[in-house]
Structures are given as C-alpha cells and as structure tokens.
Amino acid sequence: MIKVAFFDTKAYDRPSFEHYGSGQGIEFRFLETKLNEDTVQLAKGCDAVCVFVNDTVNASVIDQLYAYGVRLIALRSAGYNNVDVRSAFGKIHVVHVPAYSPYSVAEHTMALLLTSVRRIHKAYNRTREFNFSLNGLTGFDLHGKTVGVIGTGKIGQIFIGICRGFGMNVIAYDRFPAKDSGIEYVPLDELFSRSDVISLHCPLTSETRHMIDSSAIGKMKKGVVILNTSRGGLIDAEALLEGIKERKIGAACLDVYEEEADIFFEDRSGHILGDDLLSRLISMPNVIVTSHQAFLTEEALNNIAQTTVSNILSCFEKDGICDNELCYRCGSIEQCQKSRKEKCF
Ligand code: NAI
C-alpha cells in the first residue's frame, strides 16, 4: 500500500480522490492543515505527500520529508513555484498536473473581465435589493479593443481564442514564443503601451516576480484593465494599489494575491483581516477578487485526481518513470531536455 499524506484537504478534493484512488493500492491520509515546517511531521510513515498551491515545500521541509522516508511530492496543481524543486533533486521526486483543464482558468479569466467591464457584480447586488437604477453601470465594448497576453502556453492560448471570439485584437509576449501559432508577439514594453486589457498567464519565477510594478504600470494606457489568474507574485500589489488610486488603472481582476497563502481558501467572514493591502484593494469599486478559484470546475477536479493518482502509481512502479516529473537535471524546468522515457535521477 502506498501511503500518501494529503495536505490542505478541502471538502471538494475528497470525492474525486476517493473515487480515482479506490482499489489502486493507495491510502490517502487526508489532513486539513497545510504543509510547512511546523506540520511536516504529519508525513511520518508516508511514502508520498500530495500538496496544493499554498503548501510550503522549501529546502528545510524537503530535508525533513526525506529523513522520514518520503520519496515523492505530488503536486495537485500545474504551478510549482511553492516547491523548491532544485533542493528536491536527487532526493525526492516531484510530479505535477501539467494540464487539468486550461479551459477552466481561461474561461474564469474572461468571466472576470466581463463582470468587471459590464459591472455585473454591482448589478447583481442592486437588483437583489430591487434597485433597478443604471447609474454608474456604464461599461465598454470588448470588440475592437486590444488585449495583451503575457504567457502563451496552454491557458494563454485558450484565452487568446476566447478573446478573438469577442473580436478583440490580440498581442502577446512570451519568453519562449509559440512557433507557427499566428500570434502577434511584441516586446513587453510595447505590450504595456498598446493594451487596453492585460492578462497574465506566465509562471511565477525569479524573473517574472513583480513584472507588473510601478515602472510597468507607468508605461500602460490610462484606464487599462489588469487580469491576473496566474500567480499573485507577478504583481507588486502596492504598485497596483497606487495605480488604482492615481486613476491610471481602470480595473483589476485578481484570482491570486502574493500573500494569499494564509487567507485564500478559508472562510474569514466575521474576522478582522490583518492584511491592509488586500483589504484596501477589495474596498476599491473597480477591483474584483476571487480566491484562487479559476481552476475550480468539475472537469478540472476529476482530471487533477485522475492524473495525480496515475503520477503516484507510475513513480512507485518498477521503472519509476513518470511523464509529469519536474526536475533540475538540465538546470531549467521550463527548458527541460530530458526524454520523457527516463527518470530524473
Ligand atoms: P504553460 O507552461 O502551458 O504556459 C506558461 C507560458 O509562460 C509558456 O508559454 C512559457 O514560455 C511562458 N513563460 C515562461 N517564462 C516566461 C517569462 N519570463 N515571461 C513571459 N512568459 C514566460 O502553463 P499554463 O498551464 O498555461 O499555466 C500558466 C500559469 O497559470 C501557471 O504557471 C500557474 O501559475 C497558473 N495557474 C493558475 C490557476 C488558478 O486556479 N488560478 C490554475 C492553473 C494554473
């Protein structure tokens, strides 16, 4: 039996993992707590840990896990910025779910954009109180506007397709442009200066951290709408707030926030929120925050569970080869040269 400590379990995780894990020789130990230095001992006696985006899997946690005999970190997400993959190399294998439903995230991004520019969130609240006034609800057409997409991988390309369906002009920036994609790539500064809407779909790395800062915001059009369904750390939230206060930014839609780890995914209603920056952003009439829910569709949950179970089984099989392994053997995860038919170490 492969024993797996399943950290940060939510009610919506269990049904799909119990379904796909049953009869597969995997025993999940469902834990509500997040993985970090204080909770790592809960993984004692387990062969693997299964973690999500706000678990902390740094070098010290990895060393502890290794000492306990844990040999696999199974991310049930695509992003892996919370795992020190470099420290894990040679000790613990790391797998992720590269694509579970890029549509879920791309569609949520468009849902946020439409909600914001057509003031749906305000109209919903008004009509529930029988307030049928239209004052303050004037939006703008997306048709003919320019959207700048940063990161044209799986999610970015689907979002581009959706935007084209709305008749938007699409420009993009990617460190590694997709060949023969028909996408118009432009330098980042040009994207900032030409876009009416900017949407972030690249991973959080040391290079992309705070790519949206005061200097970037200074180059943008007045009234720009910023969408972030990727990772909070891509935006310097203080600079964003300044841009909103100066009326430079027309609207911001955030599914992620740099300091979300101790806040998002939990019911904090009735509590005093200690994060002044997030409170201030939420208080703005032109900011919409969802709590990292872009992935949350039935299709995505099923795919996450199915792929994670298959990742775990393949890593503990005789040859131990898993297509979805992440490693630092070539020094870079994004530019992985490894054949998918061999182990990382
Ligand atoms: P992907 O790996 O298919 O695409 C990422 C793209 O970003 C690639 O084209 C890559 O070349 C590009 N990129 C890498 N470094 C860059 C840089 N320095 N500047 C510009 N572009 C760069 O990933 P996918 O599946 O499209 O996911 C994108 C991101 O979405 C993930 O990294 C994750 O952080 C986020 N995500 C958010 C979810 C949510 O629920 N809010 C759910 C799933 C993913």
Same domain as 60, residue 186: no
Query: What number is the average pLDDT over the span 76-83?
Result: 94
Asked if residue 340 has pLDDT above 70, the reply is no
Q: Does residue 83 fall inside a structural domain?
A: yes
Q: Which of 80, 92, 124, 98 is nearest to 5 (CA)?
A: 92
CATH code assigned at 327 = 3.40.50.720
- Determine which residue's CA is closest to atom 20 belonging to ligand 1: 174
**Higher pLDDT among residues 250 and 330, named by residue:** 250
The Cα 16–Cα 41 span in angstroms is 26
With vertex at residue 238, the alpha carbon angle to CA 236 and CA 239, rounded to the nearest 5 degrees, is 70
Q: Does residue 212 fall inside a structural domain?
A: yes
Chain segment 180-229, per-residue pLDDT in tens: 999 999 999 999 999 999 999 999 999 999 999 999 999 999 999 999 99
Contacts of the segment 34-39: beta carbons below 8 A, 24+ positions apart? 34/7, 34/8, 34/261, 35/5, 35/7, 35/8, 35/61, 36/61, 37/61, 37/64, 39/7
The Cα 287–Cα 249 span in angstroms is 10
pLDDT given for residue 328 in this prediction: 80
Structural contact between residues 195 and 224, judged by C-beta atoms closer than 8 angstroms: yes
> Is 247 tagged catalytic?
no
Please tell me which residue in 107, 119, 201, 260 is annotated as part of the active site: 260
Same domain as 239, residue 131: yes
Residues paired with 74 in a beta bridge = 50, 95
> Is 260 tagged catalytic?
yes
Beta strand pairing status for 325-326 and 93-95?
Answer: antiparallel
Query: What number is the average pLDDT over the span 79-106?
Result: 94
Q: Domain range for residue 221? A: 102-289
Same domain as 258, residue 179: yes
Q: Does residue 345 fall inside a structural domain?
A: no
Residue carrying structure tokens 């369904």: 229
Residues paired with 251 in a beta bridge = 225
Distance 156 CA to ligand 1 centre (A): 7
Same domain as 118, residue 238: yes
Asked if residue 118 has pLDDT above 90, the reply is yes
Distance 50 CA to ligand 1 centre (A): 21
pLDDT given for residue 178 in this prediction: 96
Which contiguous run of DSSP H or E holds residue 101?
A: none
Number of compact structural domains in the chain: 2
Chain segment 260-306, per-residue pLDDT in tens: 988 999 999 999 999 999 999 999 999 999 999 999 999 999 999 99
For the CA of 98, the nearest atom of ligand 1: 25
Same domain as 277, residue 207: yes
> Is 231 tagged catalytic?
yes
Same domain as 129, residue 60: no
Average pLDDT, the chain: 95
pLDDT given for residue 330 in this prediction: 73
Q: Does residue 40 fall inside a structural domain?
A: yes
Same domain as 283, residue 210: yes
Q: Ligand 1 pocket: which of 185, 202, 207 to mutate (most atoms <8 Å of CB)? A: 202
Paired tokens of 85: 């993959």
Q: Does residue 245 fall inside a structural domain?
A: yes
pLDDT given for residue 92 in this prediction: 97
Same domain as 211, residue 125: yes
Same domain as 106, residue 94: no
Beta strand pairing status for 287-289 and 249-254?
Answer: parallel
Query: Is the CB of residue 79 below 6 angstroms from any atom belonging to ligand 1?
Result: yes
Q: Does residue 199 fall inside a structural domain?
A: yes
Same domain as 310, residue 254: no
**Higher pLDDT among residues 327 and 113, named by residue:** 113
Same domain as 34, residue 46: yes
**Percent of the chain clearing pLDDT 70 (strictly above):** 97
Distance 336 CA to ligand 1 centre (A): 15
Given 246, 269, 289, the domain boundary residue is 289
Q: Which range has the worst mean pLDDT, 58-62, 128-132, 144-148, 260-264?
A: 260-264
Structural contact between residues 312 and 302, judged by C-beta atoms closer than 8 angstroms: no
Q: Ligand 1 pocket: which of 77, 85, 155 to mutate (most atoms <8 Å of CB)? A: 155
Asked if residue 338 has pLDDT above 70, the reply is no
Same domain as 236, residue 133: yes
pTM, whole model, 2 decimals? 0.91
